[in-house]
Every structure is written in C-alpha cells, then in structure tokens.
Amino acid sequence: MSSSTGRATNDTFLGMPAVPPRSPYGTGHLRGERTFPRAAHDELGNEQLRRNLGKATHSIRAKRLAVTGELPDWEQLRDTGSAIKTDTMNRLPELLEELERKVTERGGTVHWARDGVEANEIVTRLVRDTGSDEILKVKSMATQEIGLNEHLESQGIAALETDLAELIVQLADDRPSHILVPAIHRNRDEIREIFLRHIPGVDPALDADPARLAAAARAFLREKFMTTKVAVSGANFGIAETGTLAVVESEGNGRMCLTLPETLITVMGIEKVLPRFQDLEVFLQLLPRSSTGERMNPYTSLWTGVTPGDGPQEFHLVLLDNGRTAALADRIGRAALNCIRCSACLNVCPVYERTGGHAYGSTYPGPIGAVLTPQLAGMHGAKGDPNSSLPYASSLCGACFDACPVKIDIPSLLVELRHQHTEQAGTTAEKLAMKAAATVMKQTGLFTTAQKAAGLGRVLAGRDGTLSRLPPPLSGWSDSRDTPAPPQQTFRSWFASAEGAAAMRAAADEGARHTDDPQEAS
C-alpha cells in the first residue's frame, strides 16, 4: 500500500504567494525574556534542578530504549510516520477542509484562528456563551503556547489544569519545563510543599510519597470533574478522513474532561491533522513508546463530533495557525512541523539535561523547541531577540535525530537556522573576525606573522596553560570555555629550524630501513 501525492494546487488565488506571518511578537509563550546563554547560566547554578533532571531523563531513556528495541519493525514505523507527516504537509489545505467537513457533519463546530490572540478570543467567547466562568483544562501544548489560561483569567474566567504536573506548575505560579512532564524540574518534597500551601483542605500530615501526592490531587479534582460544565483540550491527532480527534494521556483527567462536561472546546494546531484513520496504527505505536517508554499509554480517547447520550453535547474545534504557515513556507524548516510532541529529543539532549526547559524561554523547550520556536515566532522580532540564540543551544551531537520517532533531522535544522540568523544579523564582530582570518590565511607572509603574534598569547595564559578569559569580542566564547594557550613555536618555524631538519632526516632513514621496495633500499 502506498499513496503518492503532488502538492496542492491553488486555483482560487492569483498573483504572487506572500510569506505567511510569524506568531505576533509579544503574544503567548514563544519567546523568553533573556537569551539562552544568559538564562542557562542561571539555571546551571540550580543544583536541585540538575539533580531532578538528571535522574528523570536517565530513567526515561532506558525505558524508551527497551520498548523501542523490542519492536523488530521500529525503523519501518519511523519511516512511515515521517512520510505520513511530510505527505500531510503537502496536502494540508484539502486535509484541513476535509477535517472541517467531517467534524461539522458529525455535529461539531469548526473555528479558524490566525494566531493565538484570535484563538484566545474565540475560546473566551465560546465559554461566555455557555454562561460558565470556570473551565477545566486537559494538558495541551497549543493552549500553553498561546497563553490561554492567562487570557481567560484576565476575562474573569478561571481555568483549572487537571493533569497532575500541570496542576503542580499552575499552583506554584510556575512555567512548564518539559513537553511531557511539565513539572520535571520539581522533586517530591517541593511538590509536597506546593500542595500544602495551595490545595484547599489538604491533609496537613501529607507526606512526600508520590502515590499520596497523586491521591491528594485526585481528591481535590474529583468534585470539579463532576460539576464543571466546560472543558478545553488540545489534540494529539485530528483525522481528516473521519473527523475523529484523539487525546493520548495517562491519568484519566483527559477522559474526565472529554466525557463529563456539557461543552468541549479543542484547540488544535493545523499541523496535527492526519489523512486517514488507519494512520493511527502507526502513531499509536510511535508516540507512547517514544514518549513515556511504555508499550501503550494508559488511556487514549477517540471522538468524532458529538455522540447523542455520550459525552459533551456541544463540541467546538479551533484550528490554530499562529506561525505554523510561516514554518511551512520554509523549505527546510517545515520539517519541524512533523513533530508529534513526544519529548524523546528532550530526554536524550545533553544540553537540555543540564539547563532544563525554562532556559529556552518558550513553551517548546529542548532540541525540538530550538528549531520549532524560531520557526513559529521568528528570530528577529526585535533587536536582540532571545529566539536568535536558540539555534546555538545545541552541541549538534545528533542524539535527538536518533531518538525522534518521525525522524526530524534536528541538527540540520539547527545549522540552517544558524545560517539564516547569520545572514540576517549583518555585520557582527564574529563576521569581521572571520573575514580578517580569511585574508590572513590567503597570504603566507601574513599568516606566519599572525602565528608569531599568537604565540604572545602564552603570556596571558595561567599556570595550567589555559586562557580562561579572552578580550571582547571573544569574551562570549571564553565565558563558558577555557582556551588552550597557543604553542610556543609554530609548526612552520619548527620545520625550518635545525631541530626540525634533523627530525625529518631521522624519519627518512627510519623509513628506508623498513621499506619493502628494493628500489628504495640502498
């Protein structure tokens, strides 16, 4: 079986295609306050964070390897998953229209949002129409990205997160730091503190045992599930062929929110569409194994519009752009849209493991965040845009590419973004230095002189033969690295010296003794 498709043709729109806009500057959570190196510098000082993260990422890596390794066709599944996503992007216009048609046929209402601001307005209006001033939330990256909770709050609507980790983050007035486990930067003692302080009527004798902490959250939310009339969710997949939506979860809070309220509002990024229902057979294998290292996550809900007598009788689907079309317009960068938000790349990344998620300043941290955030929100929204530092938040080791279930070549995307940033940045100290280096290296005389001058660097080096601080503009480099002192003598000057000549003669004699060629033996 295979399906081959060309690209969508456009019969209605004549004229030159316009580059779609990024997510509007200053909205939502796709940009931090500080550049990555600056934020990372502070996060690295948090030993508790590094311990929590190290422990968590190592345990999940082992689990992921075990459950992906037991499938003989894992690589074939990855190939298919990757191709389905690429094919989806190629056919996005008709797939979105088909999804809209199917959801509408089944009694749902579809809304379109150009950006996060518009999506927030749509959700606010829909909640108002129900007469409710409180809603329940299913964990959702898209609603985090657009800052929905904060917007609702400003409009007098209380939004309560129901996923355990999201609840922890919300109660502590904190920000998520991981795609899958948003409170990964917190340990059990910190969580106990948060619950004691913020959950009304919690048992003051609550200890830090994870099972009892989870039970406290269960007790707190139980009554809310039974009484709240409106829920807002994201979606892992939206099936164009049938209009079916999917939410993949573990705790059952998702099922509660998708089942018990009267009204359900789902906010879905347009890239989450899949062509056919059958495609689930691939992604229901790729996602849980990559994400939590389980053969299957405990609960997955599939629903299609409205079902009389079962679940919410009013269903709204909000399709969100918010910079996704800008990413799609980039020949290389569009691959980032294939992401299924499994978080495997975060868990294997040596940089993420040390800095944590907050350093990236975006809802999307880690390797995928470093490529997706600049695509959605741009890198040059203003002078000194922190997002322009994200493509450099990587050692390019490639572990993320190996772990990605849909084979997004994150290192190549990072390099492309670095290139785009350099092109945009105009004349920088680095650019001038490189230009000067090129001039020097082209001319032997200049190069020899420069090497001699570099030898003077030894004077600046410490006793251990390293330079710990370089003068600006190189100080940015030396802030986090030691530079070895230049050698006393360049290779060229050694080669030209008596010592060099003697060494070369000795080597030639040695070579002659060992050669097998009689012609060469004398």
Partner 1 sequence: MTATARETVLRRVRDALSLSDGPAVTVPRAYRTGRSLPDEERLALFVDRLVDYRAQVRTCTAATTAAVLAEVLREHGAQKIGIPPGLDPAWLAGYDGETVTDSADVPAPRLDVLDGVVTASAVSCAETGTIFLDGAAADQGRRALTLVPDLHLCVVDLSSVRTGVPEAVAQLTPEHPITLISGPSATSDIELERVEGVHGPRTLAVVIRTDR
Q: Binders of partner 1 among 164-203, rule CB under 8 A? A: 164-165, 168, 181-184, 187-188, 191
Unique residue bearing structure tokens 């000067």: 436
> Which residue type sits at 386?
P
Binding status of residue 244 toward partner 1 by CB under 8 A = yes
CB nearer partner 1, residue 338 or residue 394: 338
Cβ at position 24, least distance to partner 1 in Å: 14
| Token pair in block for residue 250 | 């573990």
Cβ at position 217, least distance to partner 1 in Å: 7
Residue 121 CB contacts under 8 Å (≥ 6 apart), including other chains? none
CB nearer partner 1, residue 258 or residue 351: 258
Question: What is the per-residue binding string for partner 1 in 313-342, x denoting contact by CB under 8 A?
Answer: ------x-x---xx-xxxx--x--------
Q: Which of 93, 350, 462, 511 binds partner 1 (CB under 8 A)?
A: 93
Residue 151 CB contacts under 8 Å (≥ 6 apart), including other chains? 120, 123, 124
Binding status of residue 7 toward partner 1 by CB under 8 A = yes
Q: Binders of partner 1 among 105-164, rule CB under 8 A? A: 106, 111-114, 118, 162-164
Question: How far is 455 from 104, CA to CA, in rounded Å?
Answer: 74
Count of residues near partner 1 by CB under 8 A = 113
Question: How far is 200 from 268, CA to CA, in rounded Å?
Answer: 32
**CA pseudo-torsion sign 137, 140, 142, 147:** positive
Question: How far is 273 from 463, CA to CA, in rounded Å?
Answer: 60
Q: Which of 8, 454, 502, 512 binds partner 1 (CB under 8 A)?
A: 8
Q: Binders of partner 1 among 331-390, rule CB under 8 A? A: 331, 334
List 231's β-bridge partners, or say none.
136, 264
Cβ atoms of 336 and 371 within 8 Å: the answer is yes
CB nearer partner 1, residue 184 or residue 485: 184
Q: Which of 277, 392, 447, 494 binds partner 1 (CB under 8 A)?
A: 277
Q: Cα Rg for the chain, rounded, in angstroms?
A: 28
Binding status of residue 96 toward partner 1 by CB under 8 A = yes
Query: In what helix (H) or strand (E) does residue 475 lie, and over which residues does it extend?
Result: helix 475-478
Q: Which of 23, 149, 292, 355 binds partner 1 (CB under 8 A)?
A: 292
Q: Which of 25, 46, 86, 452 binds partner 1 (CB under 8 A)?
A: 86
Cβ at position 267, least distance to partner 1 in Å: 14
Q: Which range in 87-95, 379-387, 420-428, 457-465 contacts partner 1 by CB under 8 A?
A: 87-95
Residue 510 CB contacts under 8 Å (≥ 6 apart), including other chains? none
Cβ at position 331, least distance to partner 1 in Å: 5
CB nearer partner 1, residue 315 or residue 401: 315
Question: How far is 506 from 11, CA to CA, in rounded Å?
Answer: 77
What torsion do the CA atoms of 480, 482, 483, 487 make, to the nearest 10 degrees?
180
Cβ at position 14, least distance to partner 1 in Å: 11
Cβ at position 264, least distance to partner 1 in Å: 12
Question: How far is 341 from 181, CA to CA, in rounded Å?
Answer: 12
